[in-house]
């Protein structure tokens, strides 16, 4: 039909809609599960329920560090090789499975065989060993699953990929709640993850089928492309996971049981990461824009993308972090049982840290898209190193608050380094006047919290909403935000 979109455009548009909906559902159910688990543990296992949640998050945190490293590099690499030559899909699949079996299988065996040593020597808690052994196969299953999903993405079978995400999230949530309610506690929650990974691997494998066209690729070609992505994923996920792991290992006895401290910290961490999770979509959007503009050597457009992206991102991130930090104790009370309310100062610290980390991740995507992935690797290598050193120094004395302070300080260092790298590469970041007005808005929002009394759940919502609104009011009053910004946002929404 005249005027209709070409087939590739329709496929791309439909794919974006399917994958966006699926990722949102996957993220929403995952966050909801982690927010709800403390209440489920308390209801079905009232004795030591905070400790149970802390141990569960310790085990899953270690496993997810491995999972995210393998997934992050694999899906992108497999999709690239398959999309370039669909006729070699089976070859790409089997050669990648060789790599994943070596990497994922090696990590699974390391956790399985080393569970006793890890739990006793690192965590100083032998009770974690059975849970680590149960969780170990998840790493290998996830590695294989990522290969199949990468093939679907490369073949542009976006609907199938989206359905796998939705199915994975739904099955995992249902099994976790059911097995925890059945009295299996940590074993039930970890076992649900294991069963879900196995079932969805089988379903995705069947759905993918065979796509053999005779073309071939070697595992060395795939690994050469995937290698740098794996390093980046290891470092970034290390920043996300290391603080909780070190807290479990070095928690001071004078502040209570290590599992209790990690349980409270994990609860605060889950909410503190929300601004970071919300901002990830910005990285996905800006990547192709920067990649294209730098490829065509359109430096003016690239600079404008960077300036605009960082400005709007910082406005939103600081607004969220300020409102969350000023109402940390009340927000914990909205979601968790009363035993977690002591984590308020931890949440306030982490909210600020993760806002800065989100901004760093956005700028790391800009560096990678502009052809400088090594700079993004350097950025998070420094951030992870600072976090490790500060956690080791502060946790034995200050416990969870020391861990939060160490993580937030490292994230601040990462943000400053990201800004410096962007400035050196493109000679643009955010105007100093914008940074000053953001700081003024955050300061006045915090001061407003001093005169608004704290109260119950309703008052927390009111107080947070007023402060969030006040932040934007200050930006309008100082003319940081104008009608032109509103026009730009409306225009972007219409595209």
Residue 293 has pLDDT above 60, yes or no: no
* Alpha-carbon gap, residue 394 to 400, rounded angstroms: 9
Contact indicator for 151, 84 with CB cutoff of 8 Å:
no
The full DSSP string for 2-44 is TTPPPHHHHHHHHHHHHHHHHHHHHHHHHHHHHHHHHHHHHHH
Residue 1 has pLDDT above 50, yes or no: no
**Mean pLDDT estimate for the chain:** 87
Residue 494 has pLDDT above 50, yes or no: no
pLDDT, one tens digit per residue, over 181-217 is: 898 999 999 999 999 999 999 999 999 887 666 668 8
Residue 155 has pLDDT above 70, yes or no: yes
pLDDT bracket for residue 237 (50, 70, 90)? very high
- The residue-averaged pLDDT of 251-261 equals 95
Q: What is the pLDDT of residue 486?
A: 75
pLDDT, one tens digit per residue, over 118-131 is: 999 999 999 999 99
Residue 272 has pLDDT above 80, yes or no: yes
Residue 351 has pLDDT above 90, yes or no: yes
pLDDT, one tens digit per residue, over 356-375 is: 999 999 898 888 777 788 89
How is residue 17 written in tokens?
């809609």
Q: What is the pLDDT of residue 186?
A: 94
Q: Which residue carries 């998050």 as its tokens?
A: 57
- The residue-averaged pLDDT of 394-402 equals 97
- Closest to 407 (Cα-Cα) out of 354, 470, 362: 354
């Amino acid at each position: 039909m005249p005027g209709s979109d070409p087939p590739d455009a329709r496929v791309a548009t439909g794919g974006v809609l399917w994958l966006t909906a699926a990722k949102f559902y996957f993220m929403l159910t995952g966050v909801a599960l982690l927010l709800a688990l403390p209440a489920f543990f308390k209801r079905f296992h009232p004795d030591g329920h905070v400790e149970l949640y802390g141990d569960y998050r310790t085990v899953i945190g270690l496993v997810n560090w491995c999972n995210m490293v393998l997934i992050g590099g694999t899906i992108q690499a497999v999709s690239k090789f398959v999309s370039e030559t669909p006729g070699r899909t089976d070859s790409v699949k089997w050669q990648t499975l060789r790599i994943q079996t070596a990497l994922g299988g090696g990590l699974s065996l390391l956790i399985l065989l080393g569970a006793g040593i890890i739990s006793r020597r690192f965590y100083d808690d032998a009770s974690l060993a059975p849970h680590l052994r149960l969780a170990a196969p998840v790493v290998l299953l996830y590695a294989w699953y990522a290969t199949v999903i990468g093939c679907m993405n490369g073949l542009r079978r976006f609907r199938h990929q989206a359905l796998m995400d939705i199915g994975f999230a739904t099955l995992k949530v249902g099994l976790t709640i059911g097995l925890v309610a059945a009295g299996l506690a940590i074993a039930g929650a970890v076992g649900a993850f294991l069963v879900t990974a196995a079932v969805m691997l089988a379903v995705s494998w069947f759905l993918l089928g065979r796509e053999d066209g005779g073309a071939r690729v070697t595992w060395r070609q795939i690994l050469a492309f995937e290698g740098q992505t794996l390093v980046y994923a290891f470092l970034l996920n290390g920043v996300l996971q290391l603080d909780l792991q070190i807290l479990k290992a070095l928690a001071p006895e004078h502040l209570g049981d290590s599992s209790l401290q990690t349980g409270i910290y994990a609860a605060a961490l889950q909410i503190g990461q929300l601004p970071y999770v919300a901002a990830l979509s910005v990285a996905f959007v800006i990547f192709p824009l920067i990649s294209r503009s730098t490829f065509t050597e359109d430096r003016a457009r690239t600079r404008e993308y960077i300036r605009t992206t960082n400005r709007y991102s910082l406005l939103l991130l600081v607004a969220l972090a300020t409102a969350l930090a000023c109402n940390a104790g009340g927000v914990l009370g909205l979601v968790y049982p009363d035993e977690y309310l002591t984590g308020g100062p931890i949440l306030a610290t982490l909210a600020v840290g993760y806002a800065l980390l989100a901004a760093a991740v956005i700028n790391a995507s800009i560096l990678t898209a502009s052809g400088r992935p090594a700079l993004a690797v350097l950025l998070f290598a420094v951030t992870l190193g600072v976090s490790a050193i500060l956690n080791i120094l502060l946790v034995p004395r200050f416990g969870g608050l020391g861990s939060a302070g160490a993580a937030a300080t490292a994230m601040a260092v990462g943000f400053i380094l990201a800004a410096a790298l962007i400035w050196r590469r493109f000679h643009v970041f955010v105007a100093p006047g914008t940074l000053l007005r953001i700081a003024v808005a955050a300061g006045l929002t915090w001061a407003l919290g001093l005169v608004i009394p704290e109260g119950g759940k309703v008052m927390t919502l009111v107080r947070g909403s007023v402060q969030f609104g006040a932040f934007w009011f200050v930006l309008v009053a100082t003319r940081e935000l104008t009608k032109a910004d509103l026009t730009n946002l409306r225009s972007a929404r219409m595209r």
